[in-house]
Amino acid sequence: MSITTLEKYLKSYQDILKEYSLSIQRNKGYLIIEGDEIYKRQLIKNLIINETQGSFINIESFSPYFDNVELSKTKSFLEKTIQEHDYTIDRVYENTLTVSLSVALYRMQTHHYIDSEIIYQSTEDSIEFKIATKILEYYKGKYNLTPTTNDIQYISSLIVGQIKPKHSLEQTKSLINQDFINHIHNLLNDAFKHYMLDIDFSENIYSFSMHVDGLIKRSKAMQPAYNYAVKSLKADHPFIYEVAVYIANNIAD
């Protein structure tokens, strides 16, 4: 391959990298991807998910991307650690979280740690921070890692908004501010009135508020959840999709 052809290929990749605030640099005969480690991990995760088309039915389908990370064991350990803290994780989020964690472990094994402050900061007494600490304590010994506080915060940001308490509804109501629930209640009322829908959502308002709370936290942490089960929603249920877009825009505002 000629240098001109290689440069043409590299130029075509710059647009992809730019989306993650990354760039290709040449230095003494080497090609280097410059930018924050956080964005490199996001790029790797998204490339893997896109390339596999989110085939989350079997976590082992992602194994070719991780030479030194046992995905099934990582998934089991993750689930066990979350349960030990009296929390649970929905199946739709579990494999995504396992892949995100595996990318982080893969990078740390080659001494690539987070050297910039995480946008979404968890308090040390938060459940996601405790779970992240437990996870990194285990893998620190297993893979001889030296994670920083920023790395703990990063793992926390992967977890936030993706887990929920095991306890009954009444026991978990203290986790969400009543003002927030009232705000979501008004938002739904507005949406259903706009579309002339008569829906009694009183029994579902708390669980829906928990869902929206998690969605907002994931957005702030720049950790979207992938649910390929709803890929066809727009085509199969266009009216539901339209109402959802209306609600989502109000949540965004």
23-62 pLDDT, tens per residue? 999 888 898 999 999 999 999 998 988 888 766 667 878 8
* pLDDT, position 172: 59
71-75, 205-209, 224-228: range with lowest mean pLDDT? 224-228
* Rounded Cα gap, residues 208 and 201, in angstroms: 9
Distance of CA 198 to the CA centre of its chain: 34
Q: Quick one: 227 exposed, middle or buried, by C-beta within 10 A (0-12, 13-18, 19+)?
A: middle
* Residue 176 confidence (pLDDT): 81
Tokens representing 114 are 């987070």
Residue 93 near residue 225 (C-beta atoms within 8 A): yes
Q: What is the pTM of this model?
A: 0.81
Q: Which of 247, 104, 101 is nearest to 162 (CA)?
A: 101
Confidence at residue 119, expressed as pLDDT on a 0 to 100 scale: 81
The DSSP H or E segment spanning 164 is strand 163-165
> 251: which residues sit within 8 A by CB, 6+ positions away?
187, 212, 215, 216
**How do residues 60-107 score in pLDDT, each as one tens digit?**
788 888 888 888 899 999 999 999 999 998 877 888 899 999 999 999
Cite the beta strand spans of 51-142 per DSSP E: 87-89
**Helix, strand, coil percentages, rounded to 5, for the chain:** 65, 5, 30
Measure the CA–CA gap between 135 and 155, rounded to whole angstroms. Answer: 9
- Strand-strand pairing, 30-34 and 87-89: unpaired
Calpha distance 104→122 (Å, rounded)? 18
Give phi and psi for 137, each to the nearest 5. Answer: -60, -40
